[in-house]
Amino acid sequence: MPTTPTFKDLSVTFKKHPVTNDLVTVKDKAAINQSIANLLLTYKGQRPFQPSLGSGIYKTLFEPLDYGTAAILKGEVMEVLNRYEPRIAIVQCDIEIDYDTNGYNIELVYVILGREDAPIGLDIFLERTR
């Protein structure tokens, strides 16, 4: 019988488990969602000894709020996830401009490779901050 791969990672909150006093872990879908968010929100050159890890999304957020910039953002998202997240295959990536809040809504749908789970949706909102 084939085994399904499971994924486990430390939570970025670094809270301790109330019973074991170990760090809380996240598993499977939550671990991958956390990894995707970390990859997208990391600047290139921010991590020591890994200068190419991350994306140029923050530079793009200060460009004009239009469809051209949304297309550039989509390219950045696809590039960083295809390069650094080998556990998933992206099914769909839509970026919508939100003029009311001066940001972009990213709707990402992916499947976990090696598993027969239903596609997983992830919504991320990106906005300019100063």
Q: For every one of its 130 residues, what pLDDT tens digit does the chain have, with 9 covering 90 and above?
A: 456 777 777 777 778 888 888 888 888 888 999 999 999 988 888 888 988 888 888 888 889 999 999 999 999 999 999 999 999 999 999 999 999 998 999 999 999 998 888 999 999 999 887 6
Residues 110 and 58: their CA atoms lie apart, in Å, by 23
Tokens representing 78?
Answer: 């696809």
CATH 3.10.450.40 describes domain 8-127? yes
pLDDT of residue 130: 62
pLDDT of residue 15: 80
Under DSSP, the state recorded for 30 is H
**Spans of all domains in the chain:** 8-127
User: For 104, phi and psi rounded to 5 degrees?
Assistant: -130, 135
